[in-house]
Amino acid sequence: MKKHGLFAALLLAMLTAGCTTIYHPQTVDIPLINHQGDLRVDASAGLSGIVWPDVLTLGATASYGFTDWLAGQAHFNYGGNNIYGQLAPGAYLRLGEKGLLEGYVGLGMGGAWRDEKSKARDTDTSLFGRYDYSGSFLLPFVQGNIGWHDLANGHIDLAVGLKTGLYQPSFNYSQFDKSGNLIPDQSYRYGDANFLVEPQFEFRAGGEHVKYCLRLSFTWLSDVANGGGGRFTYDFFTISNGITFAF
């Protein structure tokens, strides 16, 4: 009986926490700016998840080379129950004919929210009515990119990026019984800062001005799994594909 009770408690935790996703890895374009006046505009769709995808987002990125070393970037994405945007000035350095090194310092802002009917059962085996969560976060960050552009006679770009930052959340979680009444001891607030590590891989293929782009990004947050009564979680990976335009 004890084993069954433990299993039920673990299942409950996974079901209730598994849907309270407060962050997903960002697949911001790694632009590989290589000259003054270089403008890159990217549009993409991404799927995020922990084991399998459960979040769809649509995003856009614009990057520009202001001088022969100074660049800047703006990004925005939206997924129905989540939103994120960032601005980042940066610098780039050409490494030979094809190689590039980029560095950005930026600030991201986002939020997530959900109101769901729960299929899980509590310890008294009575059905929840629903659970709600909502909140926002700030993400100051630095990111370094290295890549190679115009390989294979100008048709292929390859790049790797690494973002590190401080994820600063402010989220609330509330659980209601089947009559719609708030369950006081099932309400949580989460506001502890997390160290974030986010590697990203990018592949582009196409012509001089238009390329198809595939990106894969992963995230590790240092504290989410321990905070908010164990009710919050984050997606581990995002895979996206889209089109990048070079002007």
- The DSSP string of 72-102 is EEEEEEE-SSEEEEEEEEEEEEEETTTEEEE
Which tokens belong to 14? 């996974």
Question: Is residue 133 over pLDDT 90?
Answer: yes
Question: Is residue 138 over pLDDT 60?
Answer: yes
Name which of 78, 53, 17 is nearest 231 in CA terms: 17
For residues 124-135, average pLDDT: 71
Poorest-confidence range of 18-27, 196-205, 235-244?
A: 18-27
pTM value is: 0.86
Give the pLDDT confidence score for residue 121 in this predicted structure.
Answer: 44
pLDDT digits (tens, 9 = 90+) for 100-114: 999 999 999 999 998
Q: Which CATH number fits domain 2-246: 3.40.1190.20, 2.120.10.30, 1.10.357.10, 2.40.128.90?
A: 2.40.128.90
Q: Give the amino acid at 132.
A: D
CB atoms within 10 A of CB 49: 15
